[in-house]
Amino acid sequence: MLSAQIPDQVGDDGGSVMSGSDRASEDFDVSEYLFGHVGDAYEWHITTINEKEIAIPLPCIVIENGVHVFTLHHAEENGYTLNEDGKLVNAQTLRRPLDISITKNVLGLMIDSLLLVVLILLCARWYRTHDVLKEKPTGLAALLEPVIVMIEQDVVKDAVGPEYKRFSPYLLTAFFFILINNLMGIVPVFPGGANITGNIAVTGVLALFTFLMVNLFGNKHYWKDILWPDVPIFLKAIPIMPLIEILGMFTKPFSLMIRLFANILAGHIMLLSVIMLIFLTAAMGPVLNGSMTLIAALFGVFLDCLELLVAFLQAYVFTMLSAVFIGLAHQHPETETN
Amino acid sequence: MSLITPDFGLLFWMVVIFGIVFFLLAKFGFPVITNAVQKRSDHIADSLKAADEAQARLAGMAEEHARMIEETRLEQSRILREASESRERIIAQAKEDAAAEAAKLLDHAKVEIAAERESAIRDIRRQVAMISVEVAEKIVRKDLDEGDGQLALLDRLVEEAEQAQIPN
């Protein structure tokens, strides 16, 4: 994400010495720069060197009267074009087809997920092949075990209560899934850099899973609390409270979705904006540009550290709140009266 | 730009990918790890409890040990006391026995001695009687034989008596 534009700048600087310095800033499109990095795309743009784009072509998969598979360069030949949002539309009708392309975010998701699955299964393999009573964990197991134990014992067990064993696989999966995608989002070069957890579709699906986990396994008391809560009867006769409670069922995961999405997106935009200073000041002379470059680099380091913290924190918060919501759906009346 | 409108394709792939990841990790990943960790922490808890019990038992054993030593010491002193008592008793008994025996022997000896003396006296008496008889016989025989030879006879008698007295 960061380095993606920097070689660009190096190339531009080489040119600007000869052709005048004002060209770079006029060419610089802030909106395209920002949204090009935080948005989704049909190819994985890595860098541009001397006006030549280096990008990984990704398969566009469109279902409209049969399945069409092509790369973005061949979109026109297949009768599709990009609309102003950068999405594939039918060239004639300008309508969105059913589009399940492997986009940049999808590929990023696949890579990160594969990495996650490999890491966790390797860790699990250590426990399968070693006697845990005789050996202390080494390597990957030693790295992951404290985190897993922390999430399971301090977050899941405390928030969910006695039935935590049923839910800890989901919550651990959610935690590590968010964490690895957050961290890979900070990595600026190819396998990372996609703004995955800063995409509302991704956080929406995560929140949907939490919603299902809460509501599919909620106990009798949870449903009674929603549909017939302990409030004066006139609040239930015209079902005000039940309506509010049912709304609450949806606002909880909705807040999860928005929180994760907004935090990660904001982090990416902040980092991009700081780096953008370098390109915006490129036209203002070498002194200003140089000092701004230094400031931007220092701020970039600071923000990267902050993003590392946020990456962990948001994964933690999502997991903890999911655990709390699941725990609320498993309360028993006697514990509530206490 | 469509930052806040979820894209269907991404939704679809996210459901598929997260579903697969969830399935794999929930089936083959996390339960293995958490169960192993649980097993270990149970083991540690058990071991701590066992160590505690062992320590308590050890303390109990030390107490038992001390008690046994004390008992042994008492037993030992009792045995020693009994031994010394019985020794003294035996010695006293032996002394008593010895004294009795000695008295008996003494009595016996006295009786013996008395008997000896009696027999010796009797013997002496008999010899004296015999000697007297002999003397008398000889005197009588000489007297009867010849008168002039009386002096020679007396001399000889005295001589014989002297000779007879010497071996006595």
- Per-domain residue ranges of chain B: 8-119
- Per-domain residue ranges of chain A: 59-101, 145-337
**What's the pLDDT score for residue A115?**
94
Q: How confident is the model at residue A13 (pLDDT cuts 50, 70, 90)?
A: very low
DSSP three-state, residue A53: strand
Tell me the nearest-neighbour CA distance from B60 into chain A, angstroms. 30
Q: Do A124 and B11 touch (CB under 8 A)?
A: no
Does residue B48 sit at the A interface (CB-CB below 8 Å)? Answer: no
CA distance to A87, A148, B28, per residue, from B24 (Å):
32, 16, 6
Of B12, B15, B18, which to mutate for an interface test with A (greatest number of A Cβ within 10 Å)? Answer: B18
Beta bridge partners of A57: A43
Beta bridge partners of A81: A89
Amino acid at A165: K
**Residues A308, A235: contact at Cβ < 8 Å?**
no
- Which residues from chain A sit within 8 angstroms of residue B16, using beta carbons? none
Q: Which has more confidence, A167 or A48?
A: A167
**Residues A120, B29: contact at Cβ < 8 Å?**
yes
**What's the pLDDT score for residue A334?**
61
pLDDT, tens only, A111-132: 999 999 999 999 999 999 988 8
Distance (Å, whole) CA B150 – CA B128 = 23
Q: Do B5 and A116 touch (CB under 8 A)?
A: no
Among B28, B60, B7, which residue's Cα sits nearest to residue A103?
Answer: B7
Does residue A133 sit at the B interface (CB-CB below 8 Å)? Answer: yes
Among A309, A308, A89, A109, which residue's Cα sits nearest to residue B18?
Answer: A109
**What's the pLDDT score for residue A116?**
95
Tell me the nearest-neighbour CA distance from B45 into chain A, angstroms. 12
List Cβ neighbours of B25 (8 Å cut-off, separation of 6 or more): A116, A117, A120, A121, A169, A172, A173, A176
DSSP conformation letters of A16-63 = HHHH-THHHHHH--HHHHHHHHHS--SEEEEEEETTEEEEEE--EEEE
pLDDT, tens only, A180-217: 999 999 998 888 888 899 999 999 999 999 999 999 99
Question: pTM of the prediction?
Answer: 0.75
Per the structure block, which two tokens stand in for A279? 């390109």
DSSP A74: G
Of A31, A87, A100, which to mutate for an interface test with B (greatest number of B Cβ within 10 Å)? Answer: A100
Does residue A238 sit at the B interface (CB-CB below 8 Å)? Answer: no
DSSP three-state, residue A88: strand
Q: Is the pLDDT of residue B126 over 50?
A: yes
**Residues A213, A322: contact at Cβ < 8 Å?**
yes
List Cβ neighbours of A211 (8 Å cut-off, separation of 6 or more): A249, A250, A252, A253
**What's the pLDDT score for residue B167?**
57
Q: Looking at chain B from residue 10 to 29, which residues have their Cβ under 8 Å from any Cβ of chain A?
A: 10-15, 17-18, 20-22, 24-26, 28-29
CA distance to A62, A137, B146, per residue, from A314 (Å):
34, 27, 178
**What's the pLDDT score for residue B88?**
94
**Residues A281, A292: contact at Cβ < 8 Å?**
yes
Q: Looking at chain A from residue 266 to 295, which residues have their Cβ under 8 Å from any Cβ of chain B?
A: none
Q: Do B6 and A40 touch (CB under 8 A)?
A: no
Tell me the nearest-neighbour CA distance from B70 into chain A, angstroms. 43
Q: Do B40 and A133 touch (CB under 8 A)?
A: yes
